[in-house]
């Protein structure tokens, strides 16, 4: 890994806790990070637990006071430097990301710039944490509303966007005046560590961005939920783990930000621009090899265009090149693990057993390992697993529908409510459908909805809170009101 970098010092096997960088030699246990494309070990890191988590929380608690006392402009200055450093080092950060996660290098570079955009955005927002004045309820009363940082924030993030999922929590937390204790996924911790190296270079004081490296996420999560110096927990991951954290946080009424699973519908109406819909489906379904929480999971195609859409989609998907993320022209890397591969296979065999057909792909890629063929299934029905569960892999299941009413009912028939997409031209239908979809985000004639300027988040069991936009910083602030008698 080191040989591929312009700046090898971006790879570290030490994690920042307060002012210390803790190495595996300082800890009794360690764990390996592997490259999912090749299986080779790329780093050995300290395996931490509850004690280190508590230490990091103490460090964050102390550092946060001085950070909160700085002006928004001072905090913005450091975030701006961090943004500039992320952009300047985007190639190396992308290399580290591809090495530990497997996504194609160009896509990894895109993720770094996307993550950096949150750092830029929230740095700017740091200066705009406005309060309010409210006309008094009695002649002698004056009412002022101020916003203050919540304090120490714990963050638990997944492996599918090792940089961006963290950056979009770290940036608003720091902008608001909070300190963070972060636990990246054990599969992909090197991107989080590289960000810490850059944060230190940007002048971020010690103790504001602490990292816990651990394969025992349950213990770390328990400390984060139970420790009363933690005032907010922000989590991106599965709905099941989200529920565990919510239960654990209940004892101290922990403030929660949750970005959980999705089961995104992607609807193609008869009047859609089919070529645009195919493009959108490719971006939404196959980006990150189907491993994003906003990936189209169920593609509903109206009867009049079903065959034509299926044919065009399969032809386009056939051009996706599978391979190691460092190979030129590759746009689908490996899946993250054997477990992920097994789930994809299970969803496909369940669908085939219940009457679906393979239009393209359907099996492990000839190169072996964690590679899987981009797949299109037709004749899919609501009784199949692909209708209810997030596949998290490169499989597009095509359902047929007749009426708008029918497809809305099917699309909303899930406990999830993160992203949704549809393609249609008729203006009144566009608004009707957009308003009827029970989702936090709706892509209309587009398959790509993520941007730092818009509020990302879900309803129902897909979570609570929003990341990005002017709404995103509110999750890291408490409202206080001052009642003055004058
Ligand atoms: P994914 O399917 O994306 O891996 P998870 O919810 O299992 O989803 O993982 C997301 C993050 O949550 C990872 O950092 C993982 O280590 C962490 N995690 C998993 N189980 C727990 C738990 N019981 N408590 C706290 N964190 C957990």
Q: With cut-offs at 50, 70 and 90, classify the pLDDT of residue 205.
A: very high
Other CB atoms within a 10 A radius of the CB of residue 137 amount to 8
pLDDT at position 25: 79
- Residues with Cβ within 6 A of ligand 1? 156-158, 183, 185-186, 217-218, 221, 237-238, 241, 244
Nearest alpha carbon to residue 463 among 165, 93, 190, 219: 165
Question: Quick one: CA torsion of 154, 160, 165, 166, rounded to 10 degrees?
Answer: 50
Q: How far is CA 97 from CA 5, 21, 155, 192, 308, in A?
A: 12, 21, 19, 10, 38
Most informative mutation of 185, 191, 243, 339 for ligand 1 (most atoms within 8 A of CB)? 185
- Long-range CB pairs of 223-228 (<8 Å, 24+ gap) are 223/50, 223/53, 223/54, 223/57, 224/53, 224/57, 224/154, 224/156, 224/181, 224/183, 225/249, 225/251, 225/252, 225/254, 226/251, 226/252, 227/53, 227/54, 227/57, 228/252
Q: How far is CA 263 from CA 50, 318, 393, 459, in A?
A: 33, 24, 12, 12
User: How much distance in Å is there from the Cα of 413 to the middle of ligand 1?
Assistant: 26
Most informative mutation of 158, 248, 392 for ligand 1 (most atoms within 8 A of CB)? 158
pLDDT at position 201: 98
Decide if pLDDT at 28 tops 80: no
Q: With cut-offs at 50, 70 and 90, classify the pLDDT of residue 2.
A: confident
Mean pLDDT calculated for residue range 437-459:
98
User: How much distance in Å is there from the Cα of 468 to the middle of ligand 1?
Assistant: 22
User: How much distance in Å is there from the Cα of 236 to the middle of ligand 1?
Assistant: 8
Q: With cut-offs at 50, 70 and 90, classify the pLDDT of residue 291.
A: very high
Decide if pLDDT at 362 tops 80: yes
Residues 164-199 have pLDDT tens digits of 999 999 999 999 999 999 999 999 999 999 999 999
The partner residues of 155 in beta bridges, in order of sequence, read: 182, 234
Q: What's the rounded Cα separation, in Å, for the pair 154 and 249?
A: 12
Please tell me the residue having the least CA distance from ligand 1 atom 9: 237
Decide if pLDDT at 227 tops 70: yes
The number of the ligand 1 atom at minimal distance from the alpha carbon of 244 is 23
Decide if pLDDT at 27 tops 70: no
Most informative mutation of 215, 238, 294 for ligand 1 (most atoms within 8 A of CB)? 238
Q: What's the rounded Cα separation, in Å, for the pair 438 and 294?
A: 14
Q: What's the rounded Cα separation, in Å, for the pair 247 and 348?
A: 34
CA 224 to chain centre: 20
pLDDT at position 280: 98
Residues 365-401 have pLDDT tens digits of 999 999 999 999 999 999 999 999 999 999 999 999 9
Mean pLDDT calculated for residue range 60-74:
98
Please tell me the residue having the least CA distance from ligand 1 atom 4: 158
Q: Which residues carry out catalysis?
A: 259
ipTM (interface predicted TM): 0.96
Please tell me the residue having the least CA distance from ligand 1 atom 18: 217
Mean pLDDT calculated for residue range 34-46:
96
pLDDT at position 310: 98
User: How much distance in Å is there from the Cα of 287 to the middle of ligand 1?
Assistant: 22
User: How much distance in Å is there from the Cα of 181 to the middle of ligand 1?
Assistant: 15
Please tell me the residue having the least CA distance from ligand 1 atom 24: 218
Other CB atoms within a 10 A radius of the CB of residue 68 amount to 15
What average pLDDT does the structure give for the chain? Answer: 97
Mean pLDDT calculated for residue range 87-96:
98
Most informative mutation of 216, 241, 288, 389 for ligand 1 (most atoms within 8 A of CB)? 241
Strands (E) located in 343-455: 357-360, 375-380, 395-401, 416-417, 419-423, 441-444
Taking a C-beta distance cutoff of 8 angstroms, is the pair 76, 127 a contact? yes
Q: Residue 167 contacts by C-beta under 8 Å, 6 or more apart in sequence?
A: 86, 115, 116, 118, 119, 195
User: How much distance in Å is there from the Cα of 400 to the middle of ligand 1?
Assistant: 35
Residues 301-336 have pLDDT tens digits of 999 999 999 999 999 999 999 999 999 999 999 999
The number of the ligand 1 atom at minimal distance from the alpha carbon of 238 is 6
Q: What's the rounded Cα separation, in Å, for the pair 28 and 138?
A: 63
User: How much distance in Å is there from the Cα of 371 to the middle of ligand 1?
Assistant: 23
Please tell me the residue having the least CA distance from ligand 1 atom 27: 217
The number of the ligand 1 atom at minimal distance from the alpha carbon of 221 is 25
Q: At CA 85, angle to CA 83 and CA 87, rounded to 5?
A: 70
């Amino acid at each position: 890994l080191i040989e591929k970098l312009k700046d090898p010092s971006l790879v570290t096997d030490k994690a920042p806790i307060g002012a210390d960088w803790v190495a595996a030699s300082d800890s009794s246990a360690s764990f390996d990070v592997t490259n999912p494309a090749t299986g080779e070990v790329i780093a050995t890191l300290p395996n931490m637990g509850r004690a280190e988590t508590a230490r990091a929380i103490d460090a964050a608690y102390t550092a946060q006071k001085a950070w909160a006392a700085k002006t928004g402009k001072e905090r913005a200055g450091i975030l701006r430097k961090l943004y500039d450093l992320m952009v300047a080092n985007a190639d190396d950060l992308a290399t580290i990301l591809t090495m530990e996660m497997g996504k194609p290098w160009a896509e990894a570079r895109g993720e770094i710039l996307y993550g950096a955009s949150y750092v830029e955005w929230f740095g700017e927002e740091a200066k705009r944490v406005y309060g309010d004045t409210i006309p008094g309820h009695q002649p002698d009363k004056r009412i002022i509303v101020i916003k203050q940082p919540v304090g120490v924030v714990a963050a638990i993030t997944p492996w599918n966007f090792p940089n961006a999922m963290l950056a979009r929590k770290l940036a608003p937390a720091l902008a608001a005046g909070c300190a963070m204790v972060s636990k990246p996924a054990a599969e992909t911790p090197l991107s989080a560590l590289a960000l810490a190296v850059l944060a230190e270079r940007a002048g971020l004081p010690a103790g504001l961005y602490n990292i816990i490296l651990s394969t025992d996420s349950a213990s770390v999560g328990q400390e984060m939920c139970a420790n009363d110096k933690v005032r907010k927990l922000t989590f991106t991951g599965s709905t099941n783990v989200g529920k565990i954290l919510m239960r654990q946080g209940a004892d101290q009424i922990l403030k929660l930000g949750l970005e959980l699973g999705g089961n995104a519908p992607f609807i193609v109406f008869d009047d859609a621009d089919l070529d645009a819909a195919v493009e959108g489906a490719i971006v939404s379904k196959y980006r990150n090899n189907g491993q994003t929480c906003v990936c189209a999971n169920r593609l509903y195609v109206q009867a009049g265009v079903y065959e034509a859409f299926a044919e065009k989609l399969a032809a386009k998907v056939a051009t996706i090149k599978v391979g190691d993320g460092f190979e030129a022209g590759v746009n689908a890397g490996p899946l993250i693990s054997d477990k992920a591969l097994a789930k994809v296979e299970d969803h496909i065999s369940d669908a085939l057993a219940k009457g679906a057909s393979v239009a393209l792909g359907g099996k492990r890629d000839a190169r072996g390992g964690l590679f899987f063929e981009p797949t299109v299934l037709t004749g899919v029905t609501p009784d199949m697993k692909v209708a209810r569960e997030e596949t998290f892999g490169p499989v597009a299941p095509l359902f047929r529908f007749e009426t708008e009413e029918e497809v809305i009912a099917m699309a909303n028939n899930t406990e999830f409510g993160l992203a949704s997409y549809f393609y249609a031209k008729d203006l009144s239908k566009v608004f009707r459908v957009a308003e009827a979809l029970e989702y936090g985000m709706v892509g209309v004639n587009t398959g790509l909805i993520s941007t730092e300027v818009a509020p990302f988040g879900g309803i129902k069991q897909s979570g609570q809170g929003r990341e990005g936009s002017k709404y995103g910083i509110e999750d890291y602030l408490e409202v206080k009101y001052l009642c003055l008698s004058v």
